Structure 1
């Protein structure tokens, strides 16, 4: 079986920020690398908010999420890794020599010495607005993500939900829309404290603890009014709307990976400080993992990725350096620096 497959030093499952940075860093460590992504593009969960401004990545001035995705992908491709799209890994079979064969939902197989799992919360599916007939308005003015701000200019926008994306969308749309109303089932909002405070101090109208209960349309094509109901008193209000944005979170699916025997909590794999799982040769990084000082930020996921790659390298070769040489001293960048016109 293995004779028909090409052997890789590391196979990274998942093309979000953890997977992309792990792909780059494994190149710094001169590892033969393959990245496998279930979707048809890289970005992971970041693909759901391309218009959000990212402020909290070290050394990166405020940038649109879609730009950060593009830069991370460009960086990931630095050392020409093999990148495979459209394959959700399901099975892992360990061979007699300790290598592993990964099998995807399409039946394709991948042979590897080590694995880094950067699968976040699995395959994401947007949690829909569970009201009768809601799906008919998805082609007009019911939205589950914000791709561009301009279509909402001058409109009355209602946001249902109170997670970090709902808060971010409210802040981004507040200077663009005619009005923004956030309807949330709880008084507490998700997201960074600074962003929540900004929303509360703006013209955004907050209706808590309320939920959207009914949609109205005279023309049958777009939503024109909604009923919102107070969850404690049962009192209802009818609001005029031009657009509704729903942020009720994500439903996720890890598929058959949960059958591998990983030490899992409810949502996360338990790993060591070296990002080791309980399975030999299998490491993990990013939102998929938890450990004592885990930081669930994009910035934190880069450290996870580097630690996982270093552990994979040492698993293959215990005599290897514990970390990669920094880029200013790493020989893998010598020719690339020359191409950039850098004289060393």
Structure 2
């Protein structure tokens, strides 16, 4: 059935930072590239943090998740890869000639020589809902599980439930613009980055620990006006007046039928070699999806994974190829693009 399919050198599953940079680097290495993502827009996890400031990408000053996503999309389009959105891949077939056919849940098929998996913690991401009866009725008004626009909270009394990175980061982001920010956490210790926690404690954020959110109260049945919190040790409770509630209790991820491919996926991620190789020859993996001895869980680390995986894919396809691409100032493809931009190297 593959006779009517177009064969690609590299097919990348996932359109987050790791997947997009892999596709960009694949263009540098002159490989025919396709990106497939289950979401309907590129960005991956960054789409959940569009207003969050990102500080730790080398050479880039503090930038919002939205801006970083826009830059990555512009970069990935440099070599015009084929981009397919809204398709969840669940089936893998290896043909006799060593190529792969990937099939989506809707039946769409994709033919490729190699696969690079950049699926994070799974294609299906769901926020962990707060366990309060009837809470779902407020999800269309002032109960949030993610923040897409900081301006929605300007001048409001905001309560955040949670103690991880997301809870701490949103407390810091909202503190300058909200009327007040209260963070409620069932433990005295936080799981956020140390500097972020220190910044929060030094700010006007009201930190209530060890407390848990126990109930919501509404006068109109549509939105939350008061939140009941309970001390985790004494059981003492009190009510806080609020305009918005943000729940940051984590997310759940699912890999679906990808677990059946024989990759050996663990509970959260996949062990790979230092060349980003998986247990299946021709399939490589990058980003949050993978684990290896010196793995760096930062966007910068995902970019490094991308380069390693793509170089491995290149050598898998062309064993006599160069082990890596030249630096941009020596790369003929970039010289061509520079001329299109009207920039000419003095050495030319």
TM-score (norm 2): 0.97
* Residue equivalent to 1:161: 162
Please report how far the alpha carbon of residue 271 of structure 1 lies from its aligned counterpart in structure 2 after TM superposition.
Answer: 0.2
| Counterpart secondary structure, 2:79 | coil
Post-superposition shift, 1:301?
0.4
What is the CA–CA distance in structure 1 between the aligned matches of 2:61 and 2:192, rounded to whole Å?
19
Q: CA deviation at 1:46?
A: 0.8
Within-5 A mapping of 1:242-261: 242-261=243-262
Secondary structure of residue in 1 paired with 2:45: helix
Tell whether 2:195 aligns with 1:189. no
Provide the residue aligned with 1:72 in structure 2: 72
What displacement does 1:148 show? 1.9
Instruction: Name which of structure 1's ranges 223-232 and 307-316 shifts more when overlaid on structure 2.
Output: 223-232
Partner of 2:5 in structure 1?
5
Equivalent position of 2:63 in the other structure = 63
How big is the shift at 1:285? Answer: 0.2
- Matched with 1:138 is 139
Q: After TM superposition, give the deviation of residue 172 of structure 1 in Å.
A: 1.0
Gaps of 5+ in 2: none
Matches of 1:341 and 1:192, distance apart in 2:
44
Instruction: Specify the alignment match of 1:314 in structure 2.
Output: 315
Deviation of 1:185 (Å): 2.0
Is 1:297 the equivalent of 2:304?
no
Map of 2:105 onto structure 1 = 105
1:190 CA drift (Å): 2.5
1:94 corresponding residue in structure 2:
94
Any gaps of 5 or more consecutive residues in structure 1?
none
Helix, strand or coil at the partner of 1:238? strand
Q: TM-score, structure 1 length as denominator?
A: 0.98
Tell me the equivalent position of 2:336: 335
Deviation of the 1:22 alpha carbon: 0.2
**Number of residue equivalences:** 344
Matches within 5 A, 1:25-44: 25-44=25-44
Q: Which residue of 2 aligns with 1:282?
A: 283
Distance 1:23 1:120 in 2: 16
Quote the Cα distance in structure 1 between the aligned partners of 2:185 and 2:45.
22
For 2:266 and 2:140, how far apart are their aligned partners in 1? 38
Comparing 122-131 with 53-62, which one deviates more in the overlay? 122-131
Shift of 1:147: 1.7
Distance 2:182 2:290 in 1: 35
Distance in 1, matches of 2:69 and 2:119, equals: 16
Q: Which runs of 4+ in 1 moved over 3 A?
A: none
1:92 & 1:142 partners in 2: Cα distance?
Answer: 39
1:84 corresponds in structure 2 to 84
In the TM superposition, 1:197-212 aligns within 5 A as 197-212=198-213
CA drift of 1:130 comes to: 2.2
Q: Which whole-Å CA distance do the structure 1 matches of 2:126 and 2:149 have between them?
A: 20
Q: Could you tell me how far apart the structure 1 residues matched to 2:265 and 2:153 are?
A: 42
Paired residue secondary structure (2:66) = helix
What residue is the counterpart of 1:175 in the other structure? 176
Deviation string 1:60-83 (CA, Å, 9 cap, x unpaired) is: 001111000010011111101000
Q: What is aligned with 2:235?
A: 234
CA distance in structure 2 between the aligned counterparts of 1:186 and 1:262, rounded to whole angstroms:
37
Q: Distance in 2 between matches of 1:187 and 1:314?
A: 51
Distance in 2 between the 1:83 and 1:244 partners? 37
Q: CA deviation at 1:332?
A: 1.1
